[in-house]
Amino acid sequence: MHNGEIVLELKGITKRFPGIVANDQISLQLRKGEIHALLGENGAGKSTLMNIVFGLYQPDEGIIELNGQPIVMDGPNKAIECGIGMVHQHFKLVPPFTVTENIILGMEPKRGFGTDLKGAASRIAELSKQYGLNVNPEAKIESISIGMQQRVEIMKTLYRGAEIIIFDEPTAVLTPQEITELLQIMKRLVDEGKSILLITHKLKEIMDVADRCTIIRRGKMIETVTVADTNQETLAEKMVGHRVQFKTDKRPANPQDSLLDIANLVVTAENGQRAVDGISLSIRAGEVVGIAGVDGNGQTELIEAITGMRPIESGTIRLEGRDVKHGSPRTASEAGISYIPQDRHKHGLVLDFDVSENAVLKSYYEERFNHKGLLDRQAIEEVAERHVEQFDIRTPGIHTPVRSMSGGNQQKLIIAREIAKEPKLLIAAQPTRGLDVGAIEFVHKQLIAERDKGKAVLLVSFELDEIINVSDRILVMFNGRFVGETTPETTSDQELGLLMAGKHQGGDRG
């Protein structure tokens, strides 16, 4: 497989944006039938490079060769014509349409005056079988899982005859099971003769599926390595430019009095079902409690109840003995609860606000920023400057809209804001979702630093590594209940995996 002919070659690609060189003389060769990973931190220039390949940007210098022939990619249509397909990180699907309708969108097969939906559906079913995608052509997008939606995106590229498929951070939105399945699909695709460019910053995935890996750092190409000859540590070091610790250093916890006490909590989800089904939980000051579990087992509802974003059915939530159950998000926040939300774009930030406006999203009304309704710009800017400095947020300035910042820097801003509030309880939901190793290390260190300052920390994550790495105590949530309690020292991935799948450990605890 490693000696396949070169299907796509980039030679000395350079792309400049005002103020930065996003890609600086990058060269890369993709062979037929290989999975070639493109590794780099957030903002290293991976996406820019792939957008150049896909014709969304024009390079300032350098050439693209397809099967040995130089080619000008002047738009996505040209790329598709050349047999290049892209699976974007954020799916481009129409939710109320069926799988078939989404796939043929833009190139509907005609039959008379109508659209040949039937023919398209059978073609899709055929492709689905060939590549083991298991996609139902009749299903509506809004009714299928995220993992399945991604397969529809893959199918879209195949339907359009792609030979080269670019995956842009494909696992960022997936659950662990879906990741495993996706990696299998990718292997199947290359077995069938396709070639894959995989953009990622997850080392594990590269080790699992990639044949070769090209590393870029701050727009510059570092090198291309054969994955079989390397290991995660080396890759990480090349990516960030210094040694990376995967295990976060932490001293043993020194837990104090109980800070958060939840008793018999019941919370209902939108669909009327009991998402949290009679849970009891206490967290002490100075400890990190990790809640492991597969997405959709009530973790979100539990957190929303604690943070006042969702009403509770019955039960009590006490912070330092005081009841917070009838709270709103603001009363919860004022009671000393900080919350790093799971979805930073939906909840954590107002993307069109600039850094300074986002920095005070929860505190703008306080006296230090608000004088009888008039916002004190200077005070707000000072706080924003301090956040940027203390948390090493890389941004052109505090008046840059956060929309244009990388995910890691957006997350740093949220963490800065939540920690600066000096909370008693810090809740972090999926705090490293979509971040690269450098940023993950940073986030984990911050969580543990808060613990060491005597705060209670509640971490919810679908990533076992993260749970084991950061927590002092681990609870496993399944179907709205805790099905097991353990500690990182005494558990294993296997045990947690079984618990997450609902295999009881013996009696509810928590």
**Who's near 220: CB < 8 A, 6+ residues apart?**
24, 25, 26
Candidates 230-238, 274-282, 324-332, 476-484 — which segment interacts with other proteins by CB under 8 A? 324-332
Minimal distance, residue 378 CB to other proteins, in Å? 12
Residues 339-368 that bind other proteins (CB under 8 A): 339, 341, 346-353, 357, 361-362, 364-365
Nearer to other proteins, 38 or 360 (CB): 360
Binding mask 170-189 for other proteins (x = CB under 8 A): --------------------
330 near other proteins, rule: CB under 8 A: yes
Q: What b/e sequence results for 160-193 when a residue is b if at least 16 CB atoms lie within 10 Å of its CB, and e otherwise?
A: bebbbbbbbbbbbbbbbebbebbbebbeebbeee
Angle CA(211)–CA(202)–CA(179) in degrees, nearest 5?
85
The number of residues in the chain equals: 510
What residues numbered 64-83 form the site for other proteins, per CB under 8 A?
Answer: none
The distance of closest approach from Cβ of residue 308 to other proteins in the complex, given in angstroms and rounded to an integer, is 8
C-alpha distances out from residue 337 to 169, 342, 424, 453, Å: 32, 15, 6, 15
For other proteins, which stretch binds (CB under 8 A), given 180-188, 193-201, 328-336, 492-500?
328-336
CB of 39 to other proteins, least distance (A): 32
Nearest to 225 by CA among 76, 37, 474, 392: 37
Q: What is the rounded CA–CA span in Å between residue 162 and residue 157?
A: 5
Q: Which of 12, 76, 329, 488 binds other proteins (CB under 8 A)?
A: 329
Nearer to other proteins, 340 or 388 (CB): 340
Local structure of residue 249 (DSSP, 8 states): P
What CA–CA distance (Å, rounded) separates 347 from 358? 11
**N- to C-terminal Cα distance for the chain?**
51
CB 242 within 8 A of CB 259: no
Element (H, E) at 339: strand 337-340
| By the rule CB under 8 A, 431 interacts with other proteins | no
Q: Is residue 375 involved in binding other proteins (CB under 8 A)?
A: yes
CB of 398 to other proteins, least distance (A): 16
Beta-strand relationship, 258-268 and 274-284: antiparallel
**Span 281-310, contacts to other proteins by CB under 8 A:** 309
20 interacts with other proteins by CB under 8 A: no
CB of 6 to other proteins, least distance (A): 30
Taking the complex as a whole, how short is the minimal distance between the CB of residue 350 and other proteins, in angstroms?
5
Among 68, 96, 373, 506, binds other proteins (CB under 8 A): 373
**Gap between the Cα atoms of 358 and 352, Å rounded:** 9
What 506-510 contacts at long range (C-beta under 8 Å, 24+ apart), as own/partner pairs, is: 508/481, 508/482, 508/483, 509/482, 509/484, 509/485, 510/279, 510/280, 510/281, 510/475, 510/482, 510/485
Options 333, 338, 409, 491; binder of other proteins; rule CB under 8 A: 333
286: tokens are 């100075």
Which of residues 171 and 333 has its CB atom nearest to other proteins in the complex?
333
Cβ of residue 341: shortest distance to other proteins, in angstroms? 6
Nearer to other proteins, 20 or 351 (CB): 351
Identify the residue among 314, 328, 404, 492 touching other proteins (CB under 8 A): 328
- Judged by beta carbon, residue 129 or residue 377, the one nearer other proteins is 377
Contact 467, 290 (CB under 8 A): yes
For other proteins, the closer CB: 150 or 300: 300
Quote the least distance from Cβ 65 to other proteins, whole Å: 22
Phi and psi at residue 85, in whole multiples of 5°?
-120, 155
H or E, element range at 382: helix 377-390
Min CB(331)–other proteins separation in Å: 8
**Distance in Å, CB of 345 to other proteins, minimum:** 8
- The three-state secondary structure class of 371 is strand
Smallest separation, CB 360 to other proteins (Å): 9
Helix (H, G, I), strand (E, B) or coil at 287: coil
Confirm if 255 and 287 have CB atoms less than 8 A apart.
yes
Q: Which CA distances in Å does 401 have to 65, 107, 435?
A: 36, 36, 19
Q: Shortest approach of other proteins to residue 185 CB, angstroms?
A: 32
In the list 370, 445, 454, 488, the residue contacting other proteins (rule: CB under 8 A) is: 370
In the complex with other proteins, the residue whose CB is nearer, 147 or 329, is 329
- Looking at residues 441 to 500 of the shown chain, list those that interact with other proteins (rule: CB under 8 A): none
What is the nearest approach in angstroms of other proteins to the Cβ of residue 328?
7
Size of the site for other proteins (CB under 8 A): 26
- Residues 35/7, Cβ–Cβ less than 8 Å: no
Which of residues 159 and 339 has its CB atom nearest to other proteins in the complex? 339
Q: Which residue in the set 377, 394, 503, 509 belongs to the binding site for other proteins (CB under 8 A)?
A: 377
- CA 192-198-202 angle, 5° bins: 130
Alpha-carbon distance of 71 to 61, in angstroms, equals 13
219 binds other proteins (CB under 8 A): no
Q: Which residues bind other proteins (CB under 8 A)?
A: 309, 328-330, 332-333, 339, 341, 346-353, 357, 361-362, 364-365, 370, 373-375, 377
